[in-house]
Amino acid sequence: MFDVIIVGAGVSGASIARRLSRYKLDILLLEKENDVSMGASKANSAIVHGGYAESGKELRGRLCYPGRISFEKLNEELNFGFLANGSLVLAFDEDDMKMLATLYEMGKENGLDDIEIIGQDELRKLEENVSDQAIGALYCKGAGVCSPYEYVIALVENAMDNGLELKLNSEVIGIEKNGDVFSLTCSTGESYEAKYVINASGLNGAKVSSMITQTDFDIHPRSGEYLLMQKGTGSRVKQVLFQTPSPKSKGILVTRTYHNNILIGPDAIDEEEIDLGTHEERLKEIYTLAKKSVKDDVLNLREFIRSFTGLRPASSTGDFIIENTRTNGFINVVGIQSPGITSSPAIAEMVEKILEEIGLKLIKDPNYNPYRKPIIKYKDLEDFNKIKDKVDLELGNPERLVCRCEQVSEKTIRDALNRGIELTSFDAVKRRTRSGMGFCQGAFCRNRVLEVMEDEYKHPIENRKFDSENSGISRLNKKDINELMKKMEV
């Protein structure tokens, strides 16, 4: 029997697992997909938010800033990729300036000490490529960007090094409680028992909750679409550039990713059904709105490499739901939409306190190791002409370049394959090594990666498709974007 079972290996579940792994506890993490970070934690803006966009009257407003200031230390320990490059909320008229004043006051109430409202001169010193139409901005020095799926992977890898047990492809289909013991039945037919259960199952949060306790909320998908440009374009934008927010969204953003791509989006559409496809009209609107924030030559659809959709698990309460339920010992951690990634360290601490308050004994493990070596670190691409001979090296040579667009070596891929989580798809390797994230989007390296996987694992890899192919997702590709450019006369 386990002390704690966590349902869901997204950013909330992973953060909680890693936080609890510092104690002498038996912990099980259950995930219905074939890898960790497969839901909202994988496809999002990747922003480590400042902490000014939500009121302190909301739980998410109170948790954002404490979470944000934890990221520098977390990155030092886990090496997942974090850059505190700052954020700017741009104002284009006097109404926008009034909104900046409101955000500033909320930030101060939430404890921020690194925000200020700046005028045109200071704005252009900070961001030379900002639009000439911007008249001011709210500047938050400590906000930044991270690599969100690498963050979740690092959390789980470190927790597993400290004793966590992970079960993938294990969807929870039933929960019972007999006395003080919970019994969870999975789609695999396996059952597991625990004294405490944490429901961090994202879009399935209400469904899982209703299996065992009275559930007075709904979780619905709120979709946001994005456009991603090729590596190197991100150097044109220094800070994260927001427009003034709406009730549903923090506004269309233009930002560099941690790995130096330009990312623009998202919009915010409440969905009745899950739709991970991308759509011409929505992407056209996002691109048009994003152009408002920067000078004309910053965004170029000819540099497009990928579109994608993220689904935020929005709750009917409009806020995070983190609480011990009426079924004592079953803790809901649901409705974790933006700023969920930023808040995740503080969410984990809050859950730890709830568990201790309801009787879980937390005894520190003297063997706990908070450190995890990186699989990759940020790097600029080398002159390909100087390293192209490495592409044709034989299988088994650690210096062989398996992915030429992102210049990923065989040594890096084999490292990723031996981190405790058996990887069963090309996309799982992609998220850890960036193989397939370059200009050709895996057209060259997919079969080469699968070849290394089969050589390392000594068995065939049955899942040989991209994740989007397996799920039937329809996304606009380069050909579609070229057609859109003609319609827009770009």
Which of the following is catalytic: 49, 220, 259, 279?
A: 49
The C-alpha atoms of residue 29 and residue 229 are separated, in whole angstroms, by: 35
- Written as six digits, the tokens of 411 are 């040594």
- Contacts by 373-378, CB closer than 8 A, 24 or more apart: 373/79, 374/79, 374/80, 375/150, 375/412, 375/415, 375/416, 375/419, 375/432, 375/433, 376/150, 376/408, 376/412, 376/432, 376/433, 376/434, 377/79, 377/81, 378/81, 378/258, 378/259, 378/260
Q: Does 459 participate in catalysis according to the annotation? A: no
| Nearest partner of 200 among 258, 264, 156, judged by Cα | 156
- Residue 188 in contact with residue 169, Cβ under 8 Å? yes
Q: Which of 46, 6, 19, 29 is nearest to 341 (CA)?
A: 46
**Angle at CA 49, nearest 5°, toward 108 and 371?**
115
Residues 225, 396: Cα–Cα separation, whole Å:
39
**169 vs 36, 472, 482, CA distance in Å?**
10, 19, 38
Contact 45, 263 (CB under 8 A): yes
CB within 8 Å of 281: residues ≥ 6 apart: none
Q: What is the DSSP letter of 472?
A: T
The CA-CA-CA angle for residues 14, 113, 251, to 5°, reads 65
- Asked whether the CA dihedral 267, 272, 278, 282 is positive or negative, the reply is negative
Smallest Cα–Cα separation from 55: which of 369, 276, 339?
339
As a whole number of angstroms, the distance between CA 94 and CA 144 comes to 26
CA distances (Å), 490 to each of 238, 296, 383, in order? Answer: 25, 11, 30
- Positions annotated as catalytic residues are 49
